């Protein structure tokens, strides 16, 4: 049950933002900020004075000590606290996890994350899906991102096919394939009777155009026998 909801929510976020996956801290922070959260970077110790005061005032000293990230939601305040000293990769994982809490419909206000196991599961599963939503889903994003280009390519193909049909309707070729053409001994092309390149030659073999094509001969570029 949780599983499906986390997956749906992750897909929804990716679709809204037209992203194949969320593997970039900047994208993650932008989305988190769109939920009116302020991102606050802290250190385990030696924070600047105003930040230390805020930590004290909100009574999150314990969280600062024991976690690398957590949410604070209370009295219309929405903060995402994150350890400044974690590596970029870890920072992404932490942001994905916290975004999972933010997107959890059962995550009530006025609480600090890292509470109930069920909610941690939702956040972790959400985090997995948003990092790797699967090939089929990525294809869906590809279509949403590129549909204009795909429509353009389709129209272009239709246009070219239409043009080919107008220039060379299939009926004419079949009519011509019974026509007689000539091949010189050792030659690789088939020709019209009047073609300058065969006119004074003996040893001409007579074919229908269809037979000549079937035997692997190509139309002469001088007399263009098919036209
Ligand atoms: Zn959590
Ligand atoms: Zn010819």
Report residue 203's pLDDT band, with 50, 70 and 90 as the boundaries: confident
pTM beyond 0.85: the answer is no
Average pLDDT, the chain: 88
User: How far, in Å, is the centroid of ligand 2 from the Cα of 183?
Assistant: 9
**pLDDT over 60 at 45, yes or no:** yes
Round to whole Å and give the CA distance between 141 and 131: 14
User: How far, in Å, is the centroid of ligand 2 from the Cα of 177?
Assistant: 16
Structure confidence by residue, pLDDT tens digits, 144-164: 888 899 999 999 999 999 998
**pLDDT over 70 at 4, yes or no:** yes
User: How far, in Å, is the centroid of ligand 2 from the Cα of 211?
Assistant: 16
For 96, what's the count of Cα atoms within 13 Å in the CB-facing half-sphere?
24
User: How far, in Å, is the centroid of ligand 1 from the Cα of 137?
Assistant: 25
Considering every ligand atom, which ligand is closest to the CA of 115? 1
Considering every ligand atom, which ligand is closest to the CA of 112? 1
Domains of the chain by range and CATH?
2-141 (1.10.10), 172-219 (no CATH)
Round to whole Å and give the CA distance between 29 and 25: 6
Considering every ligand atom, which ligand is closest to the CA of 220? 2
Structure tokens at 57: 């005032």
Give the residue among 225, 145, 141 at the shortest CA–CA distance from 181.
225
Give the pLDDT confidence score for residue 154 in this predicted structure.
95
Structure confidence by residue, pLDDT tens digits, 164-197: 888 877 655 555 678 899 999 889 999 998 898 8
User: How far, in Å, is the centroid of ligand 2 from the Cα of 210?
Assistant: 16
User: How far, in Å, is the centroid of ligand 2 from the Cα of 189?
Assistant: 7
Report residue 87's pLDDT band, with 50, 70 and 90 as the boundaries: very high
């Amino acid at each position: 049950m949780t599983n499906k909801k986390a997956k749906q929510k992750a897909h929804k976020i990716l679709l809204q933002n037209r992203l194949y996956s969320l593997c970039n801290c900047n994208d993650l922070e932008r989305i988190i900020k769109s939920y009116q959260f302020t991102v606050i970077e802290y250190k385990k110790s030696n924070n600047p004075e105003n930040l230390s005061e805020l930590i004290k005032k909100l009574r999150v000293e314990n969280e600062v000590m024991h976690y690398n990230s957590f949410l604070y939601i209370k009295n219309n305040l929405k903060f995402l606290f994150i350890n400044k000293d974690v590596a970029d990769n870890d920072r992404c994982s932490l942001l994905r996890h916290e975004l999972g809490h933010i997107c959890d419909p059962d995550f009530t206000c006025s609480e600090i994350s890292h509470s109930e196991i069920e909610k941690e599961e939702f956040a972790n599963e959400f985090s997995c899906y948003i990092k790797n939503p699967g090939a089929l889903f990525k294809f869906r994003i590809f279509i949403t991102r590129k549909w204009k280009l795909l429509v353009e390519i389709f129209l272009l193909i239709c246009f070219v096919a239409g043009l080919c049909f107008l220039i060379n309707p299939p009926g004419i070729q079949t009519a011509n394939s019974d026509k007689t053409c000539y091949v010189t001994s050792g030659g690789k092309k088939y020709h019209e009777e009047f073609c300058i390149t065969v006119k004074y030659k003996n040893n001409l073999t007579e074919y229908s155009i269809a037979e000549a094509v079937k035997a692997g001969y190509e139309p002469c570029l001088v007399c263009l026998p098919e036209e």
